[in-house]
Structure 1
Amino acid sequence: MSDTHSAEQALDLVIAGGGMAGSLLAYVLLSQNPALKLAIVEQSPVLGNDEQPSKVSFDSRSIALAHGSVELLQQWGLWQDLKQSGCAIEHIQISDRGHFGKTYLNATDHQLSALGQVIEVEAIGEVLWQKLKHFTTQGRLSWFYKDAISALNPTTELQHISLKSGAQLQSKLLVIAEGGLSPSRTLAGFELKSDDYQQHALIANIGLADSHQHKAFERFTPTGPLALLPLTRQRYSLVWTLTPEQAAQHLNQSDAEFLAALQQAAGHRAGVFKSVGQRVVYPLSLKRATEAARHRTLLLGNSLHNLHPIAGQGFNLAIRDIFSLSLLLQKHQTDVGCYQLTKAYQQARLPDMQQVILYTDSLVRLFSNSSRLMALGRNTGLFGLNLCPDLKQVVANQAMGLNSIRQLKALLT
């Protein structure tokens, strides 16, 4: 895809951020609205080209897609191209290390073949890249590579956008999907709240001696949760929450030392760990904007909500951001940035976001607490889930995103 720079280019919609959320949004909206013209402004210094997406935006991490998110990807015509790269989660075991509490979720208990899927981000990037090339060829999608928004000048009917390259755009709507460190969010005047968890996440792919049998494990440890998610080719995707000091220590260990430490922390129920890929560490915090929308401007994905990975909800929440906007555009095609649309988007996204934040933040604080009384309470809760199928169904529906998607459909259609 080539750069397209022209003075005061008129567009229906501009997306700031060409990563996973921004690219998926572009594909969904262009697929559903044949007359729509939009542009993506991608600030990454590692450029994409006609053959491959930016490796910064689509790196080697993995994400867990809830069952509801997979259903939306099927509805949008993407899952048939992604499913060969996905690995089904058929069983989930949740436990608290050193305590009696355990609970199990099984897809068959909910009349499903899988509770969700785990897929590497690179695979999503490749599929989206090929899909978006079609719209670029049609002249409906313009890319501004290695560029960023330098100024915003909103008027009643338009958002006038200046780029650092000198390009000038006018758009009915600006959607900011630049990630948690979004500079355009600040330019647009959004307020951000942030809480530092004083934890780091260590992520890596782990090779197994035997099959994982499509089982996922979430184990709560004194330093925080340890998640093992099934991947293709007899591997797990590891997300290990640690103190900053422990994360640095494990990052610098030899592969053998690291695998021994991980095996001790995870136990042997998940199998014998045989190999480890590249290890990456990043700090954990909760960041959320106080508004989802302002005049002719929306926040989406990590620019709106940047969560702890404890329950794998972050990208699933972003998919529901995209779903909400796609429904609203069907009702407001004449002016895709009108007040009625931005108001409805805010009303739809903030409750869902706040519910997920409450859920994930409570889990972090509950299971990172060493109090014996807290340990007794949480383990009693885990044990009790096995005795109460109705309550387990509520927990499963929350994890799979099904209730949220039903509520959005009812609210926006």
Structure 2
Amino acid sequence: MDATAPSTHSYDVVIAGGAMAGATLALAIERLTQAKLSVAVIEAAIPDNTHPGYDARSIALSYGSCQLLDQIGVWHGVAPFATAINTIHVSDRGHFGFTEMHADKEGLPFLGNVIELADAGRVFHKSLSQAKNISLFCPAFVTDITRATDKVTLTLNDGQTLTTKLMVAADGALSSCCDMVGISRHEHDFEQVALIANITTSLPHQGKAFERFTESGPVALLPMSEGRSSLVWCVKPQDVPALIELSDKAFADKLQAIFGWRLGKLLHVGQRNSYPLILRQATQLISHRFAAVGNAAQTLHPIAGQGFNLGLRDVITLAEEIARAHNEQQDCGDMALLQRYLQRREPDRNATVAMTSGLVHGFSNTSAPLILGRNLGLAAMSVFSGLKAPLLQRAMGLVER
């Protein structure tokens, strides 16, 4: 359903941001309430390769995330574009420790799947446009938010006015909607920059993902379609200009020296992009008739690929609480609902943020005792599966919501 005529509209839920988090929330509400609640999605950019939420990057969806997307009827549209992760190999460059996780040993079809964000954008945008009770305002963005006791009034850039019982910010790491309602954010600069590119290798990846820790930061290669691998190479900020300016062959040679030969020779490097790695956390996930989800709630370091998977657990949990309120004929913007959402999400959020930040600092440290300790840990995990279990559970997204 398209919303185009300038006027005032009223909705049960309005979501600012129509990329992965916002789109998933809208579709989850539609599915869990049998389209009984009216939802508006406000999205500033039409999804294509230039959309900031659907750019050249790929994301790794954990096994648990794939299950959640299946539960809300979205996975069947995403699956044709997904490449399964069957094995995860974790190592520490220049040291003896490593461990592997295998889907077949866990009795699972896969540990996760990799999908290009551009493909996901098209699938989600189509699903939104075909939904029964979701109105899509695109391109549009929120310019003003006014909250009263029983409603929120939003003004869009084209002058349209929306009223809603619940406003949800899913508008990215620097959420303007959070700014408008006075929710600030904590920031921690990891002093690393992620270089991303698609890589072709001489040996087939066979569904194997690699996470390799180096002195400057982790290097990850994720399996993609057409035999490609998606590179995330975390480096020090001062090293970025020289790496970006290298020829494709020189860049591949440099990466080869860091990553090694587990996928054979690195044959081709696609377009390179970079972005700074900063942990951002909203100081509040909820406020009066307001909630933050996805990157608006927290933006993590890409180590262990937890960012979107954590955000997806936020989104599905909020949708469940909204559906519960609807089924019990309660106000879907009530603070009691938002408090339940917060209580369910805080333990997972805190644990995931602590794990990712701990991995970054622990594996970037060059202290000899710490190097020995982490390599003994990796070696022990490869022998004693019980030690691997907590990390594996979180990597697979099988955590309590």
Q: Same fold (TM over 0.5)?
A: yes
Q: Which residue of 1 aligns with 2:351?
A: 355
Return the match for 1:302 from 280, 290, 295.
295
Q: Specify the SS of the correspondent of 1:131.
A: helix
Does structure 2 retain, via aligned residues, the 8 Å contact 1:53–1:129? no
Residue 194 of structure 2 corresponds to residue 224 of structure 1: no
Q: Which residue of 2 aligns with 1:11?
A: 11
Residue 198 of structure 2 corresponds to residue 205 of structure 1: yes
1:43 Cα deviation after fit: 2.6
Q: Which residue of 2 aligns with 1:374?
A: 370
Residue 398 of structure 2 corresponds to residue 397 of structure 1: no
Amino acid at match of 2:124: L
1:53 Cα deviation after fit: 8.7
CA distance in 2, matches of 1:2, 1:79: 24
Q: Which residue of 2 aligns with 1:181?
A: 174
1:77-226 matches, cutoff 5 A: 77-135=73-131, 138=132, 140-226=133-219
1:392 Cα deviation after fit: 1.1
Moved more, 276-285 or 141-150: 141-150
1:394 Cα deviation after fit: 2.0
Q: Structure 1's 147 and 360: CA in aligned 2 closer, same or farther, altered over 3 A? A: same
Q: Specify the SS of the correspondent of 1:28.
A: helix
Q: Specify the SS of the correspondent of 2:127.
A: helix
Residue 323 of structure 2 corresponds to residue 330 of structure 1: yes
Q: Which residue of 1 aligns with 2:278?
A: 285
Q: Which runs of 5+ in 2 are unaligned?
A: none
Q: Which residue of 2 aligns with 1:346?
A: 342
Q: Which residue of 2 aligns with 1:70?
A: 66
Does structure 2 retain, via aligned residues, the 8 Å contact 1:210–1:271? yes
Aligned-CA RMSD value: 1.6
Q: Structure 1's 330 and 87: CA in aligned 2 closer, same or farther, altered over 3 A? A: same
1:292-346 superposed Cα distances (whole Å, 9 cap, x missing partner): 1111000000000100001100000111011101211221013211111111111
Does structure 2 retain, via aligned residues, the 8 Å contact 1:178–1:303? yes
Residue 26 of structure 2 corresponds to residue 30 of structure 1: no
Does structure 1 retain, via aligned residues, the 8 Å contact 2:203–2:263? no
Amino acid at match of 2:152: Q
1:365 Cα deviation after fit: 0.3
CA distance in 2, matches of 1:270, 1:180: 34
Does structure 1 retain, via aligned residues, the 8 Å contact 2:186–2:283? yes
Q: Which residue of 1 aligns with 2:308?
A: 315
Does structure 2 retain, via aligned residues, the 8 Å contact 1:4–1:142? no
Does structure 1 retain, via aligned residues, the 8 Å contact 2:29–2:323? no
CA distance in 2, matches of 1:348, 1:4: 37
Q: Specify the SS of the correspondent of 1:57.
A: helix
CA distance in 1, matches of 2:358, 2:109: 29
1:374 Cα deviation after fit: 1.2
CA distance in 2, matches of 1:302, 1:214: 28
Amino acid at match of 1:154: R
1:227-242 matches, cutoff 5 A: 227-242=220-235
Q: Specify the SS of the correspondent of 2:54.
A: coil
1:238 Cα deviation after fit: 0.4
Amino acid at match of 1:20: M
Q: Structure 1's 291 and 285: CA in aligned 2 closer, same or farther, altered over 3 A? A: same
1:8 Cα deviation after fit: 3.0
1:229-269 superposed Cα distances (whole Å, 9 cap, x missing partner): 11111111000000112222111111111111111110001
TM-score (normalised: structure 2): 0.95
Amino acid at match of 1:64: A
Does structure 1 retain, via aligned residues, the 8 Å contact 2:3–2:136? yes
CA distance in 2, matches of 1:308, 1:383: 24
Q: Which residue of 1 aligns with 2:245?
A: 252
TM-score (normalised: structure 1): 0.93
CA distance in 1, matches of 2:128, 2:17: 14
Amino acid at match of 1:95: S
Does structure 1 retain, via aligned residues, the 8 Å contact 2:199–2:229? yes
1:143 Cα deviation after fit: 2.6
Moved more, 355-364 or 271-280: 271-280
- Give percent identity, aligned residues only: 39
CA distance in 2, matches of 1:385, 1:37: 48
CA distance in 2, matches of 1:269, 1:210: 8
CA distance in 1, matches of 2:7, 2:345: 34
